[in-house]
A and B are shown apart, each in its own frame.
Chain A
């Protein structure tokens, strides 16, 4: 009865009261619009992610097609008890602090200098940005060439001046410093560019007011400029941090992790485990740990941005 009565009510509805919205079954219009993109995302991202998770709990055979054999927590247990992987993580942390720290320091410094320059700033900026447009693999090859003890220009200069007479990529400390500086050389311009954009967007009135109030350059920098561009700095830090964790190309083209594992950071270890030893289950566990660290780092920076009201 009710089922018969309902249409009557509904028929009378338009005249007496607005009809209740019919709940549509299936995807909403927006959902259907997004469905293709979400499907592609699932195919490209979610499915591989789940597959990697499955790999990390398996022993992976390659011959005759990929086969997975349940290994329970073997790979994960090994990950947390493997001293070599721990050492690679430690190296990655040192490397991360050194590269990102230097890049931030130099990038901000250069941006402040460029901000003061009125004439020829664009030319200078263009020249400065060039390393950033090079493929990291080329930077690695260039670095190897320049530091080679037989024909490398940097090696020659260091040797002739007596600053360093050994093989640059053959000494543990020297090699680490060299690959760090290659990364700094390539990516400092990015920080400069981002910071310069932040400096350009500062309200001029605030700077002028501080000058009128008698603030010198350093106090203006410390109390006005840096707080004003702090959001931009955190964004720059976030971008470079994500890159630094997976820094691979330059090391693989110069030292390939040596000498004495001095430059074997976690991405190099991952690559070696996955594509040299073909221990794909263990490599998946290492890769997932890298993902976890990246997510934690990103969250730390995002929280900073939120605290400053710069992100929702």
Chain B
């Protein structure tokens, strides 16, 4: 009898302990991105920023453990992205999706997250139309309209009269071109010519001649960061456009991970963007210091800050709603916080981040590396391309 009572006591205790453990569950977050192949830099930047955030803020939210599961899709590949999302949702039971470096990869999961009612936080993919595909998309990066309209307006306010646009001929380039042209003409400026350059080319000399001959006093360029930007800025210098006083305006060309490869020819390029690795704030300094401490070879760029803020958003949603996707989305609307890029908030309509856009110039920092030094700010810019 005594033994039985002890047994009962012990088992009821075990049940209690178990119930306590059950309310604190492991919440899984699936990260779909490119971790292999030529675009692996995206996945690498995402993962490092996620790990930095977890190191700073721990992996527990309201007693729940947050676990990240990484899925590689090897580049722009909607088939793989959709299959990965299916596997994460069905087998792993993830309650949040995140990542998404390329637009098609994000687009492909829209029907799934609609059905599963799982929020998906986009760390990069910058086409405005994505957030229209599902109520469950949130985005902590930027859109092309969001950074291009400010540079057009700023250029018009700061003396540019006649501008020629030179963009890479694919969707982001065309998006950037239409955003720039409409905003610049609204301000009373003149677009003297629009050049679209092939995606694969690295020979920009003929375009430089056209830019020179057009009589423009500035060129707005949109190119993929990396080899294309390198070749373009080289041609820009070698063909004497810089000496001729034709200003270069851009957006994300001077990405922190590739900027040092551009060399001295990049110095003086003017760009508008939402984040620079040398943004002047304590939070950014502690973020970049932690990143450097954990990953000495790394430099923070837009992908890092997109992922860092994305994880912050996911932590906030878990805090407010746990695993309830619908409630999580509601709780995220209007949320504002301080990010390494400055104060940001989530637009309740577009579920996209409202943020400052900074006008920067490339400089050589004291430690010898090239940086984007911010010198002017366009405040609180929403996604200007949403439902356009």
A binds B: no
Chain B residues near A (Cβ < 8 Å): none
